[in-house]
Structure 1
Amino acid sequence: MEHAIRSVTIHYQTADIIPAPYSHHISFTATVNSKQELQTSFRIEYLDREELTEEEIESEGFTGDDDFAWEGTLAPAWTAQITRLLSRTDYHRAGRQPAESENWITVEGEADSVFSGSPRNHEEWEYLSQELMQAVYETARLEAPLRITYLKLEKDGSDRLDISVLFATRSIETLLSRPAGKKNGTLNWDTLNPVLKLIYTGDFLPEKAIQREPRQPGRYLEIGDGLWYELGVSLVNPPGNHRFLSHIEKTLDGLLNN
């Protein structure tokens, strides 16, 4: 049974084996206002960087100051999602210590009653934490929405699907372009995780990718980096997974016909 939340605090920290500059701690605190929005205070702090030089940090794609704090409002869709997740959450016994290889997460707050602890379904809460962080970055205009394009070029025509993943509103917008015309649509948010996980399972070869929108027949993906990856040429089966290309093609063709 779902119980509407009044407040929630999530603390997330990477596992002890995660080295700097990647190791970090996230703090997310929110109360629910009269519009069912989340009045949010967010902070991410990167850990254990004292012994790294600025050059070493930058070589891993970071800067010397990646800590970030923000206060603002997140959409009611996130209130509803946290409420749903709480309804199927129970907690480890008090005092349990995480394994060295385990990311650590705790949840506390108030719904019909006070709740607090380390959730047993920690992978779901970990994924939610990453989604909430992306929602904060978008709302704060620190990052743009994720955009993915699937282009299916054939001699007698082409199909193109532009997907915009809007974490700020927890929504997915699509634009399907075919010779007969264009059609706007949406995708269910729950389709996002398996599709993204499948896409990023592939072995991307930037040195073989195309820098301009392709014109030759083939199936292509553009994942926001400005490069077009052709299935079977610059996007290939990862080691040990010979079914990836057939699976990704089937999945993306399915989205075209959604």
Structure 2
Amino acid sequence: MTLSKNTLTGLVLEYDSGIIPPPYSHVFRLALDWSKGDLDVVLDLHYTDREDLTQEEILDEGFTLNDDYSHKGPLNSIWITPLLQLFNKTKWSNKDIDEGGITVTALEKGKNEGVKIPGNQEAWQLMAQDLIQAIYETVKKEAPLQVHYRLVESDTISDCSITVHFSNREVIFEKSGTSRKINWDYTIQLMKIVFTPDYHYEIAKEEAGKKRGAYIECGDGYWHELGKGVVNIDPSFDAVSKIKSGFYDLLHE
């Protein structure tokens, strides 16, 4: 089914993390409505099965004691086009999602077209995560994602940063006091890779290194050296090299 912006007036995304254990297990419902031209969203997010955990067990995993969140309000309409593009290229599946996943309900001119299970589960889950992040930024619950990077070559130190604004799907790359917009999809793929390897915080520094090498800080104030403090988890996927090459290309454009 191919629907245009004129016929598809909204989507409802519902997610269940399935077999993931608490405190990570959660469900959410994200309703998106652009029937009046602007984009309105309603988010209900609930963390599940925490009853048998102690407060310490929840806090030790980086959560709070009340991570549930509900929101209703506008979102930048720039998200409508990528939603339509993803919807129109999706192939729908007959498989169930008993072990967790996301479903999509299309609203065509306000009419519910029924719940569908997308075959490209990861793409829809990433889209939903991006939309939730956009909501958090819009309401100032969270700041935009910012990653700093330093490359030290011989006597040359090159510093740069990437700031990802989910609220309006804009990415700003800054180097030597000058900034420019860079491609959204390229950046999101690079950020996925940035958060793939292991980060060893026990050897992290509060300042960037000055010796030859590559260093990264992912928004929490701690600098890690790629290859020493940042190491690959999967031997078949060299995330560290891909991070280096991704930032090298941006630095030398």
TM-score (norm 1): 0.87
**Greater shift after overlay, 50-59 or 70-79?**
50-59
- CA distance in structure 1 between the aligned counterparts of 2:134 and 2:50, rounded to whole angstroms: 26
Distance in 2 (CA, whole Å) between partners of 1:141 and 1:69 is 14
Work out whether 1:106 is the aligned partner of 2:109: no
1:176 corresponding residue in structure 2: 175
Structure 2 stretches lacking a partner, 5+ long:
none
Structure 1 gaps of 5+ residues are none
Q: Which residue of 2 aligns with 1:10?
A: 13
Change (3 A) 1:239 1:121: closer
- Between 153-162 and 241-250, report the one with greater CA deviation: 241-250
Residue number in structure 1 paired with 2:218: 223
The alignment partner of 2:164 has SS state of strand
Hey, what's the Cα distance between the residues in 2 that align with 1:149 and 1:252?
10
In the TM superposition, what is the alpha-carbon distance from 1:22 to its structure 2 partner?
Answer: 1.1
The aligned counterpart of 1:194 is 189
Cα gap change, 1:156/1:162 in structure 2, threshold over 3 Å: closer, same or farther?
A: same
Give matches, 1:35-184, under 5 Å: 36-93=37-94, 96-100=95-99, 102-110=100-108, 115-116=113-114, 117-177=116-176, 182-184=177-179
Number of residues of Structure 1 aligned to a counterpart in Structure 2: 249
Aligned mates of 1:79, 1:72 — CA distance in 2: 15
Q: Deviations over 1:172-220 (max 9, x none)?
A: 111112xxxx331112111133212222222211111211233333211
RMSD: 2.2
Specify whether residues 145 and 99 from structure 1 end up closer, same or farther in structure 2 by C-alpha distance, changes over 3 A only: same
Deviates more, 1:124-133 or 1:232-241: 232-241
User: Do the aligned residues in 2 keep the contact of 1:3 with 1:112 (CA within 8 Å)?
Assistant: no
Q: Distance in 1 between matches of 2:237 and 2:166?
A: 32
